[in-house]
Amino acid sequence: MVYGDGFENRSPEREAQVRILYPPLMIISICGSMQFHKEMSRIQKTLELVGHTVLVPKSIELMETIGYVHPTIDEAKVEAKIQHDFIREHFRKIEKSDAILVLNYDKKGIKNYIGGNTFLEIGLAYWLGKKVYLLNPIPQMDYVTELRAMQPTILNGDLSLINTLL
């Protein structure tokens, strides 16, 4: 977390003091297809630079710490989700958050794609009363009606709108 004091390598004690004096603007969980893990990490850093605390899926943490590689075969994906409890772990992060940010990029030939897990995460955030931000407009998918009814805030690719909509 950067607060403009120039001490990027603070001790944990100093970091705790700074968080008390300058709490984060929001705690934001990033959601989206793991195909976009590089974008998730990049956006995490961008949002942290302006003062947000950003939570990412557990698999990204595992990629950075133990070199985890996402499976490409469906059955292996299921096994990994069970073994690492990815779904529940991210639900817990959403529960701790003020908002979620959905990175809905084009995928599988669908503009602004939102897949099954991400749809579940949006529904959970909505039910918990969290702010829901979509990086791009709502996709034309089978559940467009449900997505529209949850009234997410559409950023149209502009992350700076998060700060103006606090």
Q: Is 122 exposed, middle or buried (0-12, 13-18, 19+ CB in 10 A)?
A: buried
Distance of CA 88 to the CA centre of its chain: 14
- Of the two residues 62 and 152, the one the predictor is more confident about is 152
Confidence of residue 6 (pLDDT cuts 50, 70, 90): very low
Q: What is the average per-residue pLDDT within 150-154?
A: 97
Locate 38 and state its tokens: 């590089």
Task: Check residue 121 and give its pLDDT.
Answer: 98
CATH class of 24-164: alpha beta
- Would you say residue 1 has pLDDT above 50? no
Q: What is the average per-residue pLDDT within 76-84?
A: 90
CA distance 12 to 18: 10
Q: Quick: pLDDT tens for 17-64.
A: 655 666 668 999 999 999 999 999 999 999 999 899 999 999 998 888
- pTM value is 0.83
State the DSSP string of 106-153.
-BTTBTT---HHHHHHHHHHHHTT-EEEESSPPP-STTHHHHHHT-PE
Closest by CA to 102, choosing from 89, 90, 86, is 90
Laid out side by side, the sheet with 53-55 consists of 53-55, 27-32, 99-103, 131-134, 153-154
